[in-house]
Structure 1
Amino acid sequence: MLLISTVALVATLGSIGATAAPNKLHSQRANQPKQNVPRYSGPPKYTVNQERADAVKQAFQISWDGYSKYAFPHDSLRPVKNRYYDDRNGWGASAIDAISTALVMKNWDAVEQIVQYIPKIDFSKTTDDVSLFETTIRYLGGLLSAYDLMSANATGHTFAPSDLSAILEQAVHLADNLKVAFDTPSGVPDNDLRFDPPRRVGSETNGLATIGTLVLEWTRLSDLTGNPEYAKLAQRGEGYLLDPQPRELGEPFPGLLGTDVNITTGKFVDGSGGWGGGDDSFYEYLIKMYLYDPVRFPTYRDRWTAAVDSSIKYLVSHPTSRPDLTYLAMWDNQTLQFYGEHLACFNGGNFILGGILLDRPEYITFGLELVDSCRNTYISTSTNIGPETFRWQDSRTPLNASNNPAPPSGMKDFYAASGFWIDSPNYVLRPEVIESYYYAYRATGDAKYQEWAWDAFLAINGTCRVGSGYSSVNDVNAPLGGGFSDFQESFWFAEVLKYSYLIHAEDAVWQVQANPGGNEFVYNTECHPIRVARGGKP
């Protein structure tokens, strides 16, 4: 693929469907009554926008070229100073996170570079602590996804059997080093490890997401290798989350759990949680495990349904200044906390996916409400990008309650117009809002979600593009994003660019399908497509 210049890319992006500044829309909507959200009404029709898809490909190329020149085979690029940073054990996190996106984009030069690198990684050596969770979703998920996409001939490109074998061998090598994490009295894994030799750090607790976001990748590895050990290890730890104890502490609402679990006993030690960071992908994987194999994992479906029903019953919150918006509160036992995160904005897409799979239009309808409201966090800021965290005042809770404070004095006008105030203003190249646009589009075929995703991509390109790539920024409500943190996250390749591309690209076997039985792949939480295995067949 030819690399166009930065100037040419910006010109291209500016000429394809650019719209008026979306942040001006919120003032027009502030006093409007809530609209009925369209319900799922059968197989949607999709529209390919090749110019936009190609523009996203060019953003990938710029990002990849910068990383390849200044950081490869290290983990991440610092695009301002043109340096590298080993934030994920020095095994080339950006390369492994990029390979599934390069495959679906058919960027064969990048694919070849990564495929040739994979056998050279020594997953037994690192000087840094190893996160079981992060290593699983980025490295193990990336390797398994590459294997699935390449071996299934899903891309139409033929790969050497030796390349496929090397990828799967490296996945096994990595998992064999990581599996010491499960050597605990309960089987609940320790998230914090050290290698050379592999050993646990000795944590006392582990979290809901870091226990509950392993089962897809580790089960897939067992299915591909025929070795049941990997699946058994992850599923044993997951079992403590499917049957939380003590229930009166660990499950404040039916299906909604606390966060921290004692590694020795497998019991919950708190009842605080939410759909945000630290908890999010546990709920995400419940319905995705059912998609992966409905024969083996109906219990996961039932636990997801319980969580979703409780969320709708207990957590729904409408801001005092914008009752048209719908957010999900966090909880501290049964006390609600009116606090949101960019991370939590995956929830709309997850509700939509579950609605598709279970043929429950009401879940899709509610998920679309959440998508609309997360979009509001984008169109309300000066950069048209949503903040890392935000807060609001709930319309149904007493305004003098300790858990329902008014906005800070400096944010009152902003809150009056936008229905939230900014808590943490940074943006670290997160994908969740665009991710939910993608699921909304695939469920409905409504082109407005393509427009919203394009608006977000234009805003991110205009704010985060710098030097040899793209960088996190400090303040989404400040001119030019308030400055650069000089860090290009590996998940920029895996998630933001993939979702931004897929929503405009042609249909393919890895695309989410609105037909409940039509999905051949399921995305792990890092947006790596994993081939589904119904009835235990890989």
Structure 2
Amino acid sequence: MLPHLANVHVEFLPPNWTAVLQPLDIGIIRTLKVYYHKEMLRKILVSITYHVSVGGLGDSFYEYLLKAWLMSDKKDEEGKKMYYDSIQAIETHLIRKSSGGLTYIAEWKGGLLEHKMGHLTCFAGGMFALGADGAPDDKTGHQMELAAEIARTCHESYTRTNLKLGPEAFRFDGGVEAIATRQNEKYFILRPEVIETYMYMWRYTHDPKYRQWGWEALQALEQHCRVEGGYSGIRDVYASHPNLDDVQQSFFLAETLNFVSFLPTLARLLEGGSPFYYDPDEPQVLPLTSPPGVAEVSGKHLEAFRVFLELPGVAEVLPSRIP
């Protein structure tokens, strides 16, 4: 048939024999892809169903239930009910107290309670304080107590490290409390949530310890994270000397330093009465008839702000943020 190609022999095969001679053509690759996608989908659904957290991937949901109600001038009754129902469920199923008396918010994974609290979850102290006014069944005092307990626990996660900066997550098992026991949880990436809770607690209670805790965190940031070009995260907060990761996260300027600087900003509101309340957690301005809480803040609290501004080193650390 091809006389000029002496080394080529042409053989005609019956129809549909390709799959027999080339097994990959019978659908092995396609079938593998189908099973792979099915398994991936199953794992995603399982993770959604069986991993419940107030920290990463869940924090904003609870936070914005509350803020939706507040931004509606407290008229969104559905949002209010959803928020307080969620808080009740969190308290029932996730909040626990350690043998040492520390209140923490655990995570639910695969039907089991994991006694771990993430740095992200520390925002909840501020959230509880923000939502305490308006809590049903006269639970305002209880919500504030819970907020204070969470703030204390998160503060302990800082003080129990060598660098006085908090780990990404800390645990309450195996005889340890508020300490990261796994190497991949010992890093600090300039997160704002702990200082956020300090800010809210100071605003609502005027207890000077929250201002002091914030100042201590800022001093640790300056001492261990400050570099020539800005600020860097740390790979292990339990090490004697910081091992920097050379990354400054965008939220550090937008949130962490913002929460620290909000104290003098609030002092300006108290003095001048700007008709806007700036929510430091998100870049938005909420118009209100008057700054929240201004009416009940006395002159001695305003003086406390001035004392804060006069603390040694504040002017050097925040020169452009002090009014």
Give the TM-score normalised by the residue count of structure 2.
0.67
Q: 1:292, 1:532 within 8 Å by CA — same for their partners in 2?
A: no
In the TM superposition, residue 467 of structure 1 has moved relative to its aligned partner by: 1.6
In the TM superposition, 1:443-462 aligns within 5 A as 443-462=204-223
- 1:475 maps to 236
- 2:255 maps to 495
Structure 1 residues 426 and 420: alpha-carbon distance in aligned structure 2, compared to 1, 3 A threshold: closer
Structure 1 residues 295 and 506: alpha-carbon distance in aligned structure 2, compared to 1, 3 A threshold: closer
- 1:52 maps to none
Structure 1 residues 430 and 389: alpha-carbon distance in aligned structure 2, compared to 1, 3 A threshold: same
Structure 1 residues 429 and 503: alpha-carbon distance in aligned structure 2, compared to 1, 3 A threshold: same
Q: 1:293, 1:532 within 8 Å by CA — same for their partners in 2?
A: no
- 2:145 maps to 365
Q: How far apart, CA to CA, are the structure 2 residues paired with 1:269 and 1:495?
A: 28
The one-letter amino acid of 2:255's match is E
Q: How far apart, CA to CA, are the structure 1 residues paired with 2:270 and 2:239?
A: 38
Unaligned runs of 5+ in 1: 1-202, 205-258, 263-267, 394-405, 408-414
In the TM superposition, 1:104-143 aligns within 5 A as none
Q: How far apart, CA to CA, are the structure 1 residues paired with 2:195 and 2:115?
A: 23
- 2:118 maps to 341
- 1:40 maps to none
In the TM superposition, residue 287 of structure 1 has moved relative to its aligned partner by: 0.5
SS of the counterpart of 2:161? coil
In the TM superposition, residue 334 of structure 1 has moved relative to its aligned partner by: 4.7
The one-letter amino acid of 1:373's match is T
Q: How far apart, CA to CA, are the structure 2 residues paired with 1:433 and 1:519?
A: 28
The yes-or-no answer on 1:351 pairing with 2:111 is: no
Q: 1:260, 1:269 within 8 Å by CA — same for their partners in 2?
A: yes
Unaligned runs of 5+ in 2: 1-36, 290-323
Q: How far apart, CA to CA, are the structure 2 residues paired with 1:532 and 1:364?
A: 25
Q: 1:469, 1:488 within 8 Å by CA — same for their partners in 2?
A: yes
In the TM superposition, 1:194-233 aligns within 5 A as none
Q: How far apart, CA to CA, are the structure 2 residues paired with 1:276 and 1:340?
A: 8
Count of residue pairs brought into register by the alignment: 243
- 1:114 maps to none
- 1:521 maps to 277
- 1:300 maps to 79
Q: How far apart, CA to CA, are the structure 2 residues paired with 1:310 and 1:510?
A: 36
Considering only CA atoms, is the larger Rg found in Structure 1 or Structure 2? Answer: 2
Structure 1 residues 380 and 274: alpha-carbon distance in aligned structure 2, compared to 1, 3 A threshold: same
Q: Which moved more, 1:275-284 or 1:308-317?
A: 308-317
The one-letter amino acid of 1:316's match is I
Q: Deviations over 1:74-119 (max 9, x none)?
A: xxxxxxxxxxxxxxxxxxxxxxxxxxxxxxxxxxxxxxxxxxxxxx
The one-letter amino acid of 2:256's match is V
Q: How far apart, CA to CA, are the structure 2 residues paired with 1:273 and 1:479?
A: 34
Match of 1:382 among 153, 159, 162: 162
- 1:329 maps to 106
Q: 2:96, 2:105 within 8 Å by CA — same for their partners in 1?
A: yes
Q: How far apart, CA to CA, are the structure 1 residues paired with 2:111 and 2:247?
A: 38
Q: Deviations over 1:18-63 (max 9, x none)?
A: xxxxxxxxxxxxxxxxxxxxxxxxxxxxxxxxxxxxxxxxxxxxxx
The one-letter amino acid of 1:478's match is A
Q: 1:316, 1:327 within 8 Å by CA — same for their partners in 2?
A: yes
- 2:191 maps to 430
Structure 1 residues 279 and 289: alpha-carbon distance in aligned structure 2, compared to 1, 3 A threshold: same
SS of the counterpart of 2:245? coil
Structure 1 residues 377 and 533: alpha-carbon distance in aligned structure 2, compared to 1, 3 A threshold: same
The one-letter amino acid of 2:179's match is F
Q: Deviations over 1:223-256 (max 9, x none)?
A: xxxxxxxxxxxxxxxxxxxxxxxxxxxxxxxxxx
In the TM superposition, 1:208-287 aligns within 5 A as 270-287=49-66
In the TM superposition, residue 420 of structure 1 has moved relative to its aligned partner by: 3.3
Q: 1:430, 1:496 within 8 Å by CA — same for their partners in 2?
A: yes
- 1:530 maps to 285
Q: 1:292, 1:522 within 8 Å by CA — same for their partners in 2?
A: no
Q: Which moved more, 1:499-508 or 1:361-370?
A: 499-508
Structure 1 residues 362 and 319: alpha-carbon distance in aligned structure 2, compared to 1, 3 A threshold: closer
Q: 2:106, 2:116 within 8 Å by CA — same for their partners in 1?
A: yes
- 2:225 maps to 464
Root-mean-square deviation (Å) = 3.1
In the TM superposition, 1:57-72 aligns within 5 A as none
Q: 2:170, 2:181 within 8 Å by CA — same for their partners in 1?
A: yes
Q: How far apart, CA to CA, are the structure 2 residues paired with 1:261 and 1:530?
A: 37
Following superposition, which runs of at least 4 residues in structure 1 exceed 6 angstroms of deviation? 259-262
The one-letter amino acid of 1:528's match is P
Structure 1 residues 260 and 350: alpha-carbon distance in aligned structure 2, compared to 1, 3 A threshold: farther
SS of the counterpart of 1:317? strand
Structure 1 residues 295 and 505: alpha-carbon distance in aligned structure 2, compared to 1, 3 A threshold: closer
The one-letter amino acid of 2:107's match is M
Structure 1 residues 532 and 274: alpha-carbon distance in aligned structure 2, compared to 1, 3 A threshold: farther
Q: How far apart, CA to CA, are the structure 2 residues paired with 1:330 and 1:370?
A: 15
Q: How far apart, CA to CA, are the structure 2 residues paired with 1:389 and 1:438?
A: 21
The one-letter amino acid of 2:283's match is H
- 1:291 maps to 70
Q: How far apart, CA to CA, are the structure 2 residues paired with 1:333 and 1:362?
A: 30
Q: Which moved more, 1:492-501 or 1:326-335?
A: 326-335
In the TM superposition, residue 301 of structure 1 has moved relative to its aligned partner by: 1.4
Q: How far apart, CA to CA, are the structure 2 residues paired with 1:503 and 1:453?
A: 10
Q: 2:163, 2:220 within 8 Å by CA — same for their partners in 1?
A: yes
Q: 1:291, 1:357 within 8 Å by CA — same for their partners in 2?
A: no
Q: 1:510, 1:520 within 8 Å by CA — same for their partners in 2?
A: no
